[in-house]
């Protein structure tokens, strides 16, 4: 199975399988090698941009594809399918895992930290510990530290437009675009709520991103690879 290329067992981490960027990169490079024909240069370029961490809308723009930003994923999926690449769903899943790996790792660290605090605490908390919510909080904290210039690589303007409730009001459209234009170097946490992309919308985006990565959070505060059912981790033992 291809998935075995991506993950290798880490016996020092309670039999968790370690997910690393290098393994994800190797997978996409292997897909590049499968495209041997010179007339499929565009497909090789798509995969190369994926490896480099370009957002789908950037890939579409860089390669001059006829597509809108909001339809970038559909366009790229169709290109890969039409050129005979196998396991396009798996390609996209591992692309998203590579693209969003820093968020994934940061959120897992936050989850581990809060889970360990709970285990070591002598006082019983009245608050129910929900691993998936804590993970989302960690992901949200990470994303909030990014400037819009960086975050827009994966949270694009069309996504913010679609999620923002203020865009349903025609009178507020110009305000939305003006605020977004001024926010290029601002942190997401500083301006997102001003355009209606608040914590609720961000949490919804994170949920959607987790589905694209095919990763879920168990009640034992562990990451689960939904493709294999295996417990995975993005953190090496020496990095804890």
pLDDT tens, position by position, 5-60: 344 444 444 588 999 999 999 999 999 988 877 778 999 999 999 999 999 999 99
- pLDDT, residue 14, reads 54
- List the end-to-end C-alpha distance of the chain, in Å, as a whole number: 29
pTM confidence score: 0.88
Tokens of 60: 């579409």
pLDDT band of residue 240 (cuts 50, 70, 90) is low
Q: Does 10 or 179 have the greater pLDDT score?
A: 179
pLDDT tens, position by position, 86-107: 899 999 999 999 999 999 999 9
Measured between alpha carbons, how far is residue 111 from residues 68, 104, 114, 185 in Å? 36, 11, 5, 28
Put the strands of the sheet holding 223-225 in their side by side order: 7-10, 16-19, 231-233, 223-225, 215-217
Which residues are 16's β-sheet partners?
A: 10
Residue 212 has pLDDT above 70, yes or no: yes
CB 153 within 8 A of CB 57: no
How is residue 215 annotated by DSSP? E
CB 71 within 8 A of CB 159: no
pLDDT tens, position by position, 102-153: 999 999 999 999 999 888 886 676 778 999 999 999 999 999 999 998 999 9
Residue 218 has pLDDT above 60, yes or no: yes
Tokens of 123: 């006082």
Measured between alpha carbons, how far is residue 193 from residues 110, 117, 153, 187 in Å? 23, 30, 19, 11
CA distance 22 to 6: 8
Q: What is residue 191's three-state secondary structure?
A: helix
- pLDDT, residue 18, reads 95
């Amino acid at each position: 199975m291809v998935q075995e290329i991506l993950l290798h067992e880490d016996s020092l981490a309670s039999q968790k399988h370690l997910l690393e960027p290098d393994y994800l990169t190797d997978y996409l490079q292997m897909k590049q090698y499968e495209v041997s024909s010179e007339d499929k240069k565009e497909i090789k370029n798509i995969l190369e941009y994926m490896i480099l961490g370009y957002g789908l809308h950037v890939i579409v723009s860089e390669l001059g594809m006829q597509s809108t930003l909001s339809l970038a994923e559909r366009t790229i999926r169709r290109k890969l399918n039409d050129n005979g690449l196998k396991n396009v769903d798996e390609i996209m899943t591992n692309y998203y895992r590579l693209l969003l790996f820093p968020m994934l790792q940061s959120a897992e660290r936050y989850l581990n930290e809060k889970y360990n605090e709970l285990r070591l605490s002598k006082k019983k908390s009245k608050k129910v510990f929900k691993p998936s919510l804590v993970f989302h909080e960690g992901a949200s904290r990470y994303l909030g530290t990014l400037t819009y210039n960086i975050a827009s690589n994966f949270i694009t303007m069309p996504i913010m437009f679609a999620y923002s409730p203020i865009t349903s009001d025609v009178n507020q459209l110009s305000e939305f675009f003006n605020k977004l234009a001024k926010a290029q170097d601002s942190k997401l946490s500083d301006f997102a709520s001003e355009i209606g992309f608040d914590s609720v919308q961000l949490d919804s985006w994170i949920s959607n991103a987790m589905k694209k990565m095919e990763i879920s959070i168990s009640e034992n505060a562990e990451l689960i690879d939904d493709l294999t059912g295996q417990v995975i981790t993005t953190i090496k033992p020496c990095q804890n």
